[in-house]
Amino acid sequence: MTSFGVQVEGVRKSLGGREVLHGVSFALESGKTGAIVGPSGSGKSTLLNVISGLLEADDGRVSIDGSVVGERANGVARVNVPPSQRNVGYVFQDYLLFPHMTVFENVAYGLRARHASDSTVRERVAASLEKVGLRELRDKKPPQISGGQMQRVALARAIVLEPKLLLLDEPLSALDRSTRESLRVELRRTFDELATTAVYVTHDLDEAFFLGQSVGILHSGELSFFESKSDMLGRMSRPTAEFLGFNLVRARLLGVNGSGAVLHIEGWDPVTVPLVYESAHRVGQDVVVAVPPESVKVSPEASGQGVRARIEELYEFKDSVQLVVGYGASRLVCQVPNLEFRQLSLKRGDPVKLALESALLLSDSN
Amino acid sequence: MTQSQTGPRDWAAVLYWGCLTALLLFIIIPVASIFFEIPGASVVSEATNSSTISAIRISLVTSTASLFVTMALGIPTARFLSRREIRGKGVIDTFLDLPIVLPPAVAGLALLLAFAPHSLIGKFLLHYGLILPGNIVAVVIAETFVAMPFFVRSARTAFEEINPKLEMAASVLSPSKFFSFRKVVLPLASRGLVAGCILAWGRAMGEFGATLLFAGNLPGITQTMPLAIYLDLEVNIYQASFVSAILIVISFAVIASTRWVAGRR
């Protein structure tokens, strides 16, 4: 039987007369990291506050490591364990370090509140600071250290109590890009070392995929799914595909073979897409496929193969170029690595040929 | 060109320095006048005068006791009002601020009518053998009555300025609300609390009207330094000046030391 590090069932929460969470449910296996991604105002922080006990759900149940820590049904609270007794470590978006205490005292705070002996405090704080690589800053106060260092102190303060569940609320969002990228790697390594169940919320899709073993998308208080990354790709739904920025293309299912589903898209050569799960679709049925922008192959009209199209829009980024190409009445978004695009010598308005390298059959395509 | 740009700035600097100097002189000249009034030869005799010593003792004891009462009642009140939205908060605020604007004579009369032996509370106290007017406890009550609002206002602002999310973080880490209050809230509010203490203590030390009406001016029992100065003025201006000078020195020392302590945090 699977043991869940955290389980959230039908959680509803209203703030200021507006329902922020609409019956959110998910379960995360013990020791795994789950990342929930969503835009600002989607209810991410509220969800973590409900799990931690800082907010009480209006309805629903929260269990940590198999024990129910919060339950409310029909307006009646059945269980409501206080935050400090839920055994959670919480890293807040703006760190919330105590500005008048040193780094050491910040990390020691939870232990001292639990009347740990001085020797235990010294040992465990030193070990936590060691884990986040900040031992030498123990006597500094928060205003004297950088944002990245504050984030690591906040993590040390959260893990020093050896929590059963770690909650992280966009801990990297206030940092500059390079610090964010290096800390992302450190966080991943820390999660692997600790093997603690962790729920990480962010608005950054890349961060969610990098840090989470399971990923969920929270939009306007609704969790559209929460599953492992491989399951997510295999059981891609329309809202997920839209959120991930995939192109949605109508097609007809020609057949299923060992490599996946063979599809006919109007104007294209037949495409085979992988099927991780058994498809419920029948041969001959119309379906919708999701095509990642980087799977749309663009080549100059003269040399390429595929369907004829024209570059309608062109946007340059640091690593890649995003093209919006039109064919017939349809449009596709393509992403081409910067260097590759330079070799193609294409510009806005140029005719091109398009081909699909891979695509996913939507589970809810009709 | 340069002159026309720097000209107005120079005028502003002159204005600022002028106002500051005028204000400082406005305080320093009267204060210094008191020190100049004391003849050098009389310092020893005035310092050993038993009524002077007694007035200093009563002032220090009552103002300190009043400060403790003010803090004991004021800190929880200020904390409560800083974080809770309650019905009728505006009315509560008005009542709490009332002693600031109330003339001290009115405050004294109000306390007298409320606590005198014939009043409801007075009768109850009399049952236990306590008559407040003419008692040192009445001095503490009068001083607390007028000083409390200054502390509550300052403390409340200090509590309101603390990021509530810090308290949220503390509540995840600590099972004891009192521990979080002691280790996080109080230290973060300390500057405001110290400022409130200075204001309240200073107001209590200088309290005159309410104490005179409610507690009376009994040497050795309820006579504080301001009351002693008032009485001495009619018979011995030197002694009044001497007591005043002591009051100034004590006030200056307390303000300077508390500012120094607050600045070190």
Helix extents (H) in B102-176? 104-115, 120-127, 136-160, 164-173
A323: closest CA among A302, A354, A301?
A: A354
Q: Which residues pair with A70 in a beta bridge?
A: A62, A80
How far, in Å, CA of A81 to CA of A86, rounded? 6
More confident residue, B91 or A234: B91
Query: Mean per-residue pLDDT for A286-297?
Result: 88
Smallest CA–CA separation between A25 and chain B, in Å?
23
For the domain made up of A4-234, the CATH class stated in words is alpha beta
Domains in chain A: boundaries: 4-234, 238-361
Q: Determine whether A149 is exposed, middle or buried from the number of CB atoms within 10 Å of its CB (0-12, 13-18, 19+).
A: buried
Nearest chain A residue to B187 by CA distance is A100
Smallest CA–CA separation between A350 and chain B, in Å?
54
Average pLDDT for chain A:
88
Contact A324/B at CB under 8 A:
no
> Amino acid identity of B76?
P
**CA A314 vs CA A84, A305, A321, A325, B149: distances in Å:** 52, 21, 7, 9, 66
Q: What is the pLDDT of residue B1?
A: 46
How far, in Å, CA of A213 to CA of A196, rounded? 13
The CATH number of A238-361 is: 2.40.50.140
How far, in Å, CA of A73 to CA of B146, rounded? 51
- Using DSSP, state whether B247 is helix, strand or coil: helix
Q: Closest to B174 (Cβ–Cβ): which among A96, A100, A110?
A: A110
Smallest CA–CA separation between A85 and chain B, in Å?
7
Contact A82/B at CB under 8 A:
yes
Predicted confidence (pLDDT) per residue in A223-276, tens digit: 877 888 777 777 777 877 887 889 999 888 898 887 778 888 887 778 777 665
Q: Tell me how far the alpha carbon of residue B55 is from its chain's centroid.
A: 17
Bridging pattern class, strands A33-37 and A214-219: parallel
Inter-chain residue contact A54 with B188, CB threshold 8 Å: no
Predicted confidence (pLDDT) per residue in A174-184, tens digit: 788 888 888 88
B46: closest CA among B253, B212, B232, B254?
A: B232
Helix extents (H) in A160-294? 177-194, 205-211, 229-234, 238-243
For the CA atoms of chain A, what is the radius of gyration?
24
Q: Which residues pair with A60 in a beta bridge?
A: A72
DSSP per-residue letters across B12-74? HHHHHHHHHHHHHHHHHHHHHHHHHHS-GGGHHHHHT-HHHHHHHHHHHHHHHHHHHHHHHHH
Look up residue A311 and give its two tokens: 């570059």
Query: Mean per-residue pLDDT for B115-123?
Result: 87
Look up residue B36 and give its two tokens: 């100049």
Q: Closest to B174 (Cβ–Cβ): which among A84, A88, A99?
A: A84
Inter-chain residue contact B173 with A110, CB threshold 8 Å: yes
- Using DSSP, state whether A161 is helix, strand or coil: coil
Interface of B with A in 2-61 (CB under 8 A): none
Contact B175/A at CB under 8 A:
yes
Selected residue of B165, B168, B171, B172 to mutate for chain A interface (largest A Cβ count, 10 A) = B172
Instruction: Please count the residue pairs, one from chain A and one from chain B, whose beta carbons lie less than 8 angstroms apart.
Output: 56
Q: What is the pLDDT of residue B6?
A: 55
Contact A100/B at CB under 8 A:
yes
Would you tell me how many other CB atoms lie within 10 Å of the CB of residue A229?
A: 14
Answer for the pair B151, B201: CB distance below 8 angstroms, yes or no: no
How far, in Å, CA of A296 to CA of A355, rounded? 6
Average pLDDT for chain B:
88
φ, ψ at B261 (rounded to 5°): -65, -45
Contact B164/A at CB under 8 A:
no
Q: What is the pLDDT of residue B8?
A: 64
Selected residue of A45, A50, A85, A100 to mutate for chain B interface (largest B Cβ count, 10 A) = A100
Q: What residues have CB less than 8 Å from A153, skipping those under 6 apart?
A: A95, A97, A103, A106, A107, A132, A134, A137, A142, A145
Answer for the pair B227, B206: CB distance below 8 angstroms, yes or no: no
- In the structure, how many helices (H) and strands (E) does chain B have? 13, 0
DSSP per-residue letters across A184-202? HHHHHHHHHHH--EEEEEE
Q: What is the pLDDT of residue B2?
A: 47
Residue B193 has pLDDT above 60, yes or no: yes
- Using DSSP, state whether A345 is helix, strand or coil: coil
Q: What is the pLDDT of residue B256?
A: 85
DSSP per-residue letters across A120-133? HHHHHHHHHHHHTT
Inter-chain residue contact A84 with B179, CB threshold 8 Å: no
Predicted confidence (pLDDT) per residue in B25-69, tens digit: 999 999 999 988 887 656 666 667 788 889 999 999 999 999 999
Percentage of the residues of chain A whose pLDDT score is greater than 90? 49
Domains observed in chain B: 43-264 (1.10.3720.10)
Q: Closest to A90 (Cβ–Cβ): which among B166, B172, B187?
A: B172
Residue B135 per-residue DSSP state: S
> Would the pTM of this model clear 0.90, i.e. be above it?
no
Nearest chain B residue to A109 by CA distance is B173
**Of the ranges A23-32, A259-268, B5-14, B142-151, which one carries the lowest mean pLDDT score?**
B5-14
Query: Mean per-residue pLDDT for A144-151?
Result: 91
Q: What is the pLDDT of residue A277?
A: 59
Inter-chain residue contact B172 with A83, CB threshold 8 Å: yes
Contact A27/B at CB under 8 A:
no
Predicted confidence (pLDDT) per residue in A292-317, tens digit: 899 888 988 887 777 889 999 999 98
Residue A363 has pLDDT above 70, yes or no: no
Contact B180/A at CB under 8 A:
yes
Query: Mean per-residue pLDDT for A270-290?
Result: 76
